Amino acid sequence: MTPLRLLHGLLDRLSWGAVLLLSLAGAVLAGAFVYLLVPLSFTSEASFLFNDQPDVISSLQLLAPGGGNGDTRGAAGAIGMLGGGGSSAAQRFEELARSRRLRRQLVETHGLAERFHMPAQQAEAELRTAISIRTLGRGTLLGGSGVGMAVGVTCQAGPRLRVWLGRPVAFKPNEAQTMSATMANDIVAFLDDYTTETSIQQARKTRVFVEKRTRTVESDLARAEARLLALQRQYRLLSPETKAEQLAEEIKTLTDAEAQSRVLEQNAAESVRLLRGQLPREATTRIEQTVTARNPLIERLEGELLDLQAKLQTEVAGGKLTTHPDLVALRKEMDGKEAQLQRVSHDVQDMVTRGINPVHDALSGKLVDQMVTLAGARAGARIAGSRLARAESRMQDLPPVAQEYVHLKRQVEMQGDLLSTLQKRLEMARIEEQRENSGKFQVLDPAEPPLRKSGPSSTKAALAVFVGLLFLLGIGRAYRLGWIALEDREPPADA
């Protein structure tokens, strides 16, 4: 007799009551199996918020003279390596929480390898699946701006039958409850200790480097000042109005002017390149031709402006205050030259916009401004470079003592500026090193032993088996009674 015939015979003998009883019996057996033989799971969760304390370094940079510019940029190389909120911090913390270093520490601290009778490497691998991470607030681990994280640890106990029979198990239910909470809190403590220690080490390295560099600059500055003082005493170079003094100030002014013009030229050239791609070719060609026609005027104004800047620097170096009438007059004259450059830009805009689509008026205006700026920057860099070369040539004609005097004076000024910057950065590094001791997050809710198991549910298992058996046996019974047809039958042939 084939198995199919046996099944058909069994279904033919079953009544609906028997179907129900068999389903109940299967559900009871499944529930008993899960209840007695499947290990229990207990999950505890600890949560923390990312530290939202104000960034002292950023505040100091904004309050510093010229805050936010290149004078203070990069002042703290170790700032917030693992700090800050948002998705990047969440991703770092997730990687740390799942790291082999943390899992090895948990395995060694709680003796998990001995409890589960497996190698330490296998225990570490099993522990990885027992750790769960989720982000608090909006966002996910892959994006968004969560405000914190929750770390969960699942610990298994039992099964119950082995516990009742006194057989050895890794954890009893009450032990698993406590262990899940303990490991969750240990993970939070590890994250806090590790991130704080790493950030402090990085901040300390930055401070030590800045301190070493500051001492070097102080030593170089002291030697240069001593030599400069010796030259002044020996050769009576005491007057700031000497030819060497004036030449040194002129070279410094021209060097700064050329560097600023080069930076302005690069920025303007990049802006022009981007704007050209958004306008028709004929429009950009017309603008370029119009600006080129005014290059002589632009170059003359830039040269006059550079002369005024050099004169202003010389007056300031001579000890005049900013409120001195001569300085006020110089600034007023410089403002007039800059206003003339602005009028050149407006004149070019008026000419080129007459034949350009009004839709492109805003873009064409920006392009005109940037092209005028580019032409002025190129003229300024060329004029400053030419005058700098002549000034350096004149310096070569000075006596050797005067040349050394000029060189030492420039070195003292540069070393002084560098020392001032380093001292500011050193203070920032010290503040950052102290700040890192406060930790990277605040514990919101420490983990506590769970009151109930997280799984498995014997009730759900029994219900699933009951529904499944009832459905299958009911379908089989209905099929044998002819209530449903599971296959198409051919119609009888005509007689």
Confirm if 327 and 315 have CB atoms less than 8 A apart. Answer: yes
- Return mean pLDDT, the chain: 77
pLDDT, position 184: 92
User: Is residue 85 pLDDT above 50, yes or no?
Assistant: no
pLDDT, position 8: 64
Tell me what the mean pLDDT of segment 237-250 comes to: 60
Write the DSSP assignment of 244-257 as a string of letters.
HHHHHHHHHHHHHH
Tell me what the mean pLDDT of segment 232-261 comes to: 69
Q: What pTM, to 2 d.p., does this model score?
A: 0.53
pLDDT, position 43: 92
User: Is residue 239 pLDDT above 60, yes or no?
Assistant: no
Of 348-352, 430-434, 445-449, the range with the lowest mean pLDDT is 348-352
User: Is residue 403 pLDDT above 80, yes or no?
Assistant: no
Confirm if 188 and 443 have CB atoms less than 8 A apart. Answer: yes
pLDDT, position 46: 92
Helix (H) / strand (E) containing 43: strand 40-50
Residue 67 binned pLDDT confidence (cut-offs 50, 70, 90): very low
Amino acid at 207: R
How far CA 78 is from CA of 57, 83, 204, 436, in Å, comes to: 11, 10, 8, 10
Q: Which long-range contacts (CB under 8 A, 24 or more apart) does 84-87 make?
A: 84/50, 85/50, 85/51, 85/52, 85/145, 85/146, 85/147, 86/50, 86/139, 86/144, 86/145, 86/146, 87/135, 87/139, 87/140, 87/141, 87/142, 87/143, 87/144, 87/145, 87/146
Residues present in the chain in total: 495
Q: In the beta sheet, which residues pair with residue 443? A: 48
Tell me what the mean pLDDT of segment 64-88 comes to: 41
Cα(436)–Cα(431) distance, rounded to whole angstroms? 9
Tell me what the mean pLDDT of segment 169-193 comes to: 89
Confirm if 352 and 286 have CB atoms less than 8 A apart. Answer: yes
What does the pLDDT look like over 367-399, one tens digit per residue? 888 888 888 888 888 888 888 888 777 767 666
